[in-house]
Chain A
């Protein structure tokens, strides 16, 4: 035992590992007494500086691992790049990595070798990293009794939680902790380690062994009451190692404390239970053995089987299913090459429900499949995320159900029982019970496949080795009916007594033993020790007279072995002894050949005293009592009497013979009853097995049904959602007036809105046809090229088409149709009728140009007025006054026009507006309402303004009493207007015609095509004008 060996701590870290390592080493005390080996995923191209980085966090020396270096406490070793690191004999081993097939699981590789080398001293820590590396490694460590830890997400959690999550999910992690708290746990473990020494291995200390025995009994009772599983028959060492491991994990150093904890915490009982069941069963574990199975056994299973027959396999203790699926794969591979394929059923049973759950799922982290050949992986597994799932064709063959190979009735009529690495956990007694169970379960000639360290040596009568090295055996058929081995009464509590180790006085004993031996051998009556079933366990010397070998296969059954004369009495006596517990005796006559003489034998059976384990044994003694002789004819005197006596003698002999034959008949009948009884028991067991199978398949069906209804519910929900989405879409299509066409990558119509139907002249039946065949009405020859451009550029494209014959303006928009992955699956064409927009644009253009034109014309007019006014003005003031007056006059006319939106202006309004500017009370306006065109209004406005200006300056309005009368009337289609001034100063004809008069005449004659007559009577200025009324 490596009492003082340091803890060797393997640390697996990868992506995001540096902060985790920092957190770990910063909290580590200087003298921890532990060695640390860091394994990371490194790129072989880049030299690693990890040792320098880690060196900053700890005062312990940090070095790059070297081949052959001894692992010493308080040292940190870092795996170099491009190498594979392992451990053997307490030293590090390095070998170069194959550059082509790089090891993707360096952590698993190192952990596995460390587990093998260091056993209980190994600690595996899985920190932040990807790829699920380390899971298989911690499994190996835990199996060897080491401690496992994984980083959890408290506070500064793992940056990349894939690796620790995978390890925790496997159920193999003892401590899931933040890295900062791990050093403290390690230090406690290290401090407690001495307390455990010798619990499982202290052979020298007898007291401790007794203690341990006692403890195992106590714990086994607790386990049985919680889990219903009896571990009392497990190997002491294995059992105690598991207990020790759990004690380390819960950090208790005394067995009493642990026992108390078990009593207080049912959870701890379950944890121990699970630890006791740890069983590393990889796919094709021991590949040679599986190869032999494949070549030697599997083909034989199929020989002579028709398609309607079933090959039955049983895997008891299947754990998480690796062994089951390995067998399934082998069977499936064999079936591939067959023309006639029989049905294959693999019954996989275990008492661990959680393991069965995992097995049923058939889903494994890639790490656990490292040993499976790539072609098998490809053929029989389906990748699903980071895990691989067993293919349906293999999965279908396997039936999983909870079952205990120890306490439940076995299955039957099996062709192969594969039970690898389960027996190693059983003590001899349990093995003796389980192996006959397998024999019972198998058909004659069926195969038994065990783990490499297991065997059936004590049951050579039941199994014949087929391949010793790989532990493949074949069931022997031994004549008589198969007996179901007795199952233990699980409720009976048994006290184990220690026979082997009774202390004794050595010297006196030796002589006595010699004497006793000699007496026994030479003078003691012949005897046999048997079980209550009648199986002979021990024969003394000189039993040959009473026993003989029966016909058929060798057999140890006393009823078969005993000479015929003894059988009936033997049976009766045994029964009597078993019932009373006291010795029973019988006298039996063994006749010689002649039938006249014989020997009288005293036969007695008594229970064997002394400790013989839990089974009562019986001692059968044969004691010769003396010669027996038929009474002779000697005196002869009383002949009659003699004759009568002889007759009686004869009669007695006849009766004896008859009795003998009756006894024989009775025995035969009894045998027959017994064998039919056994047959019945076996039929019953078979029925029970069938029932188990039915139960198993019912569970399968139930879980399948559950799964199906879940899937169905999900499907229904999806269909509902799809339906409503579809309806929304349909309504949207119908409601939108925008023509939209969906095309796929080949420009085939996928869908379109009703509005698009009119544009392209397409109907529902055109869905699935290329749009280019149908693109009828559209004036868009570049459509196809531009759609392709959208595919290439991934951008939307907008194009305004030239107006068609009907003056229809269309805006085309081509938008990429994106699928869920944001890739382009097609194109969406949208057509929008923008004719009204185009019209409005056109109208606006016209309006602007008209406005432009009018403004320019107006400016021309203003410039002309200014020019003329300037020429006829004598001073700047006069020029300004007259120009501004004229412009105001114009603007008044414009105001009226704009009030009526440039349509018509009433003549009265025009005259009155002008009159108001000069004093409305002195200008009277009178006439019917006649509408003027804008042009007429402007011109007449100017004329009235000139007249009024003139009157104010020279005419009637220049005096205080002067008045102006403006009257007009319609005369047919002409308007006649008269301007008459009264009561003003005397009027003279002007010497020169001024601009005012020229403007009046010009406006009326040229502009309005009218007539104007101006006269200057002395009473007042007078103007008569007429022009055409435009209606």
Chain B
């Protein structure tokens, strides 16, 4: 699942994920949209942009942590600027490095 509020980035990310060989869900551009997708039970892993147009994706992260689904944050921020409690989570720094994205995805989706 891709949670990203900027359509351009989200669209690009979805293409990239598809190109690597995964099915991309979303992109969701809000917390509620993301939680809807999550509720369908098809999500194996997620990439979460932290800032979603006036809200943050931490509720989504919380929900995913509860269900034990791996996720990684996407952000222009650095680790120490994340909300305390999420600072040990993987973080992919914007702009995305395609290699790093591939490694992170394969790490999260190892069978």
Residues of A within 8 A of B (CB): 849, 852-857, 859-861, 863-865, 867-868, 871, 935, 998-999, 1002-1003, 1006-1007
Q: Is the CB of A861 within 8 A of B8?
A: yes
Question: Given A849-B81, A860-B95, A854–B8 Cβ distance below 8 Å?
Answer: no
Task: Please tell me which stretch of B10-18, B36-44, B62-70, B102-110 contacts chain A, meaning at least 4 of its Cβ atoms lie within 8 angstroms of it.
Answer: B10-18
Q: Is the CB of B15 within 8 A of A867?
A: yes
Give A1002 to B93 CA distance when docked, in angstroms.
Answer: 24
Q: Is the CB of A856 within 8 A of B94?
A: yes
Give A998 to B14 CA distance when docked, in angstroms.
Answer: 14
> Which chain B residue lies CB-closest to A857?
B76
Question: Given A1002-B7, A1002-B8, A1006-B29, A863–B77 Cβ distance below 8 Å?
Answer: no
Closest 5 CB pairs of A and B: A856-B76, A864-B12, A853-B76, A1002-B7, A860-B95
B13 contact set on A, CB distance < 8 A: 864
Q: Is the CB of A849 within 8 A of B9?
A: no
**In this complex, which of B5, B6, B75 has the most chain A Cβ atoms within 10 angstroms of its Cβ?**
B6
Q: Is the CB of B7 within 8 A of A1006?
A: yes
> Closest CB of chain A to B41's CB: distance in Å?
23
Does any Cβ of A come within 8 Å of B23's Cβ?
Answer: no
B51 contact set on A, CB distance < 8 A: 853
7 A-B pairs (CB sep. < 8 Å): A849-B77, A854-B76, A999-B7, A1002-B8, A1006-B7, A1007-B5, A1007-B29
> Which chain A residue lies CB-closest to B53?
A935
> Closest CB of chain A to B94's CB: distance in Å?
4
Give A142 to B77 CA distance when docked, in angstroms.
Answer: 100
> Closest CB of chain B to A108's CB: distance in Å?
85
Give A266 to B95 CA distance when docked, in angstroms.
Answer: 110
Q: Is the CB of B8 within 8 A of A865?
A: yes
> Closest CB of chain A to B51's CB: distance in Å?
8
Q: Is the CB of A863 within 8 A of B95?
A: yes
> Closest CB of chain B to A816's CB: distance in Å?
40
Q: Is the CB of B8 within 8 A of A857?
A: no
The dominant DSSP class at the B interface is mixed
> Closest CB of chain A to B11's CB: distance in Å?
6
B5 contact set on A, CB distance < 8 A: 1007
> Which chain A residue lies CB-closest to B8?
A864
A856 contact set on B, CB distance < 8 A: 76, 93-95
Give A999 to B96 CA distance when docked, in angstroms.
Answer: 20
> Closest CB of chain A to B18's CB: distance in Å?
12
B53 contact set on A, CB distance < 8 A: 935
> Closest CB of chain A to B22's CB: distance in Å?
17
> Which chain B residue lies CB-closest to A998?
B11
> Closest CB of chain A to B6's CB: distance in Å?
6
A1002 contact set on B, CB distance < 8 A: 7-8, 11
> Closest CB of chain B to A858's CB: distance in Å?
9
A857 contact set on B, CB distance < 8 A: 6, 9, 76, 94
> Which chain A residue lies CB-closest to B27?
A1006
Give A860 to B9 CA distance when docked, in angstroms.
Answer: 7
> Closest CB of chain A to B7's CB: distance in Å?
4
> Which chain A residue lies CB-closest to B30?
A1009
B95 contact set on A, CB distance < 8 A: 856, 859-860, 863
A854 contact set on B, CB distance < 8 A: 76
Q: Beyond the given A863-B12, A867-B15, A867-B16, could you list 13 further A-B residue pairs with CB under 8 A, ordered by the A residue number?
A: A853-B77, A855-B76, A856-B93, A859-B95, A861-B6, A864-B12, A864-B13, A865-B8, A867-B12, A868-B11, A871-B15, A1006-B10, A1007-B29
B93 contact set on A, CB distance < 8 A: 856
Give A969 to B21 CA distance when docked, in angstroms.
Answer: 45
B12 contact set on A, CB distance < 8 A: 863-864, 867-868
Give A1005 to B92 CA distance when docked, in angstroms.
Answer: 26
Give A871 to B77 CA distance when docked, in angstroms.
Answer: 29
Q: Is the CB of B8 within 8 A of A999?
A: yes
> Closest CB of chain A to B85's CB: distance in Å?
19
Give A871 to B5 CA distance when docked, in angstroms.
Answer: 22
Q: Is the CB of B77 within 8 A of A1007?
A: no
Selected contact of A1007 from candidates B6, B15, B94, B96, CB within 8 Å: B6
> Closest CB of chain B to A707's CB: distance in Å?
79
Give A731 to B62 CA distance when docked, in angstroms.
Answer: 63
B77 contact set on A, CB distance < 8 A: 849, 852-853
Q: Is the CB of A852 within 8 A of B76?
A: yes
> Closest CB of chain B to A850's CB: distance in Å?
9
**In this complex, which of A849, A863, A998 has the most chain B Cβ atoms within 10 angstroms of its Cβ?**
A863
> Closest CB of chain B to A584's CB: distance in Å?
142
Give A1007 to B53 CA distance when docked, in angstroms.
Answer: 9
> Which chain B residue lies CB-closest to A935?
B53
Q: Is the CB of A860 within 8 A of B6?
A: yes
> Closest CB of chain B to A205's CB: distance in Å?
120
> Which chain B residue lies CB-closest to A1005?
B7
Give A998 to B8 CA distance when docked, in angstroms.
Answer: 10
A1003 contact set on B, CB distance < 8 A: 7-8
A863 contact set on B, CB distance < 8 A: 12, 95-96
> Closest CB of chain A to B96's CB: distance in Å?
7
Give A935 to B53 CA distance when docked, in angstroms.
Answer: 9
Give A633 to B85 CA distance when docked, in angstroms.
Answer: 177
A935 contact set on B, CB distance < 8 A: 53
B29 contact set on A, CB distance < 8 A: 1006-1007
**In this complex, which of B8, B9, B77, B96 has the most chain A Cβ atoms within 10 angstroms of its Cβ?**
B8
Give A861 to B10 CA distance when docked, in angstroms.
Answer: 9
A860 contact set on B, CB distance < 8 A: 6, 9, 76, 94-96
Give A867 to B96 CA distance when docked, in angstroms.
Answer: 12
Give A546 to B71 CA distance when docked, in angstroms.
Answer: 161
Within 8 A of A (CB), among B51-107: 51, 53, 75-77, 81, 93-96
> Which chain B residue lies CB-closest to A853?
B76
Give A857 to B81 CA distance when docked, in angstroms.
Answer: 16
**In this complex, which of B5, B11, B51 has the most chain A Cβ atoms within 10 angstroms of its Cβ?**
B11
> Closest CB of chain B to A3's CB: distance in Å?
110
Give A776 to B10 CA distance when docked, in angstroms.
Answer: 58
> Which chain A residue lies CB-closest to B28?
A1006
> Which chain B residue lies CB-closest to A1007?
B7
Give A859 to B76 CA distance when docked, in angstroms.
Answer: 10
> Closest CB of chain A to B42's CB: distance in Å?
20
A868 contact set on B, CB distance < 8 A: 8, 11-12, 15
Give A693 to B77 CA distance when docked, in angstroms.
Answer: 104
> Which chain B residue lies CB-closest to A1003?
B7
**In this complex, which of A864, A871, A1002, A1007 has the most chain B Cβ atoms within 10 angstroms of its Cβ?**
A864
> Closest CB of chain B to A139's CB: distance in Å?
90
> Which chain A residue lies CB-closest to B13?
A864
Give A1002 to B9 CA distance when docked, in angstroms.
Answer: 11
Give A864 to B16 CA distance when docked, in angstroms.
Answer: 10
Give A520 to B51 CA distance when docked, in angstroms.
Answer: 158
> Closest CB of chain B to A400's CB: distance in Å?
91
> Closest CB of chain A to B109's CB: distance in Å?
22
Question: Given A853-B76, A854-B76, A859–B94 Cβ distance below 8 Å?
Answer: yes
> Which chain B residue lies CB-closest to A865?
B8
Give A762 to B12 CA distance when docked, in angstroms.
Answer: 67
Give A865 to B93 CA distance when docked, in angstroms.
Answer: 18
> Closest CB of chain B to A845's CB: distance in Å?
10
Give A740 to B54 CA distance when docked, in angstroms.
Answer: 47
> Which chain B residue lies CB-closest to A859?
B95
**In this complex, which of B5, B13, B51, B76 has the most chain A Cβ atoms within 10 angstroms of its Cβ?**
B76
Give A1003 to B7 CA distance when docked, in angstroms.
Answer: 6
Give A853 to B74 CA distance when docked, in angstroms.
Answer: 11
B81 contact set on A, CB distance < 8 A: 849
Give A856 to B6 CA distance when docked, in angstroms.
Answer: 13
B7 contact set on A, CB distance < 8 A: 999, 1002-1003, 1006-1007
Q: Is the CB of A864 within 8 A of B94?
A: no
Give A237 to B93 CA distance when docked, in angstroms.
Answer: 119
Q: Is the CB of A861 within 8 A of B9?
A: yes
A1006 contact set on B, CB distance < 8 A: 7, 10, 27, 29
